[in-house]
Amino acid sequence: MRRLGSITVIMALMAGQAFGQTLDRIRETGEMKLGFRTDAAPISYLDEDGEPAGYSPRVCAGVAEDVAAQLGLEELNATFYPVDVEDRFDAVANGEIDLLCGAATITLERMEQVSFSTPTYVDGAAVLLPAGEVADLTAMAEKKIGVRAGTTTETSLERSLEAMNLTADVTAFASHDEGLAAMEAGEIGAYFADQSILFSMLFKSDAAEGLEVSDQTLTIEKQGLAFARGDVDFQIAVDRAISGLYASGQMERIFIETMPGATPGLALRAMHLIAPTIP
């Protein structure tokens, strides 16, 4: 158990259902249930101490603290529940978590199941490949390449290959660690994922000197925090909190602290300017 400002952050197993409107339940129970990805560093992951870490959990902690203030609560338990690619949006829709704090790209298809906050990050699908190789899809035709299963990157890769009338031997891995291991072993010639995730993978790889991440992306993807559809009051509370984080410069500080040495791209810098909403 550890404390962030006026809130207590704890880990828990997935259990129970939400009841009533989210803000009413948070006020009554003194708990806000936050879902987070354990395998999407540096955006959302489980650190060496078994604690939720990364950009998105830090943003959610700031949101929880602000929501507590909006509700007049002196203390709020912000409980983090681990979720994975397959069940994360179901957990939101079923009321098992109040807010999803993973690396979740905002898409129209996903908005049929959940709602999203004001964008909190901008990323894009890129490729990890041997140093010196051409980071072009046409150069990967007929080659073995990999991607994380169940992600928007997998969908984008499939659509890009189809649009360019290219064929490749694509393996969908169950985790980024498996994809990195396949790259290090030479079993695949390229691995596609969000650019931020690829840089994190490269940083921890024993074969980092022989690998590189492309500086171009296949997509530009806005990421946000997901919550149950139709809960307008909770949406306003969350967006108010995010707007405050942007306006105060806290979002920029979270980026610097969770991604040391990284430089925000043009899209992310622009979002820091235009995201705050007038109170």
Looking only at the bridges linking them, the beta strands covering 39-40 and 44-46 are antiparallel
Determine the pLDDT at residue 151: 93
Measuring CA to CA, how many Å separate 154 from each of 8, 27, 59, 158? 36, 39, 26, 6
Q: For the chain, which ranges sit under pLDDT 70?
A: 1-20
Determine the pLDDT at residue 29: 95
Whole-angstrom distance, CA of residue 97 vs CA of residue 27? 15
Neighbours of 268 (CB within 10 A): 17
Measuring CA to CA, how many Å separate 114 from each of 91, 200, 231, 235, 260? 10, 28, 10, 11, 32
Q: Mind listing the pLDDT tens digit for each residue in 178-222? A: 999 999 999 999 999 999 999 999 998 999 999 999 988 888 899
Measuring CA to CA, how many Å separate 53 from each of 48, 56, 79, 262? 10, 8, 13, 17
Determine the pLDDT at residue 16: 41
Whole-angstrom distance, CA of residue 279 vs CA of residue 276? 9
Determine the pLDDT at residue 12: 57
Determine the pLDDT at residue 10: 63
Determine the pLDDT at residue 142: 83
Q: Mind listing the pLDDT tens digit for each residue in 20-29? A: 489 999 999 9
Determine the pLDDT at residue 19: 35
Determine the pLDDT at residue 8: 65
